[in-house]
């Protein structure tokens, strides 16, 4: 058996055809998408900052606000 790379998941904007692939799990990406308002609020009150995947994902979701953004698997 050969080496099989782990699945990569990310966000894909169906309207702009843009995608990102943060270094995290599908479950965490779904969690962020469902709780953007909470993450945005928390980020204003913490000193140490957020994990990079959260920052990257939040920026993408905010940039594509109002668009059809889906979770995608990287081929």
pLDDT at 49: 81
pLDDT at 5: 65
Nearest CA to 36 out of 21, 50, 48 is that of 50
Which stretches in the chain have pLDDT values below 50?
Answer: none
Domain boundaries of the chain, sorted by first residue: 22-73
Cβ burial of 52 (10 Å; 0-12, 13-18, 19+) is exposed
Reported pTM: 0.83
pLDDT at 45: 86
pLDDT at 2: 65
């Amino acid at each position: 058996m050969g080496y099989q790379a782990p699945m990569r998941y990310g966000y894909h904007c169906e309207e702009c055809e843009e995608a990102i692939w943060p270094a995290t799990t599908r479950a965490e990406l779904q969690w962020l998408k469902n709780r953007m308002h909470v993450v945005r609020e928390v980020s204003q009150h913490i000193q140490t900052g957020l994990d990079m995947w959260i920052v990257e994902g939040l920026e993408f979701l905010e940039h594509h606000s109002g668009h059809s953004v889906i979770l995608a698997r990287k081929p």
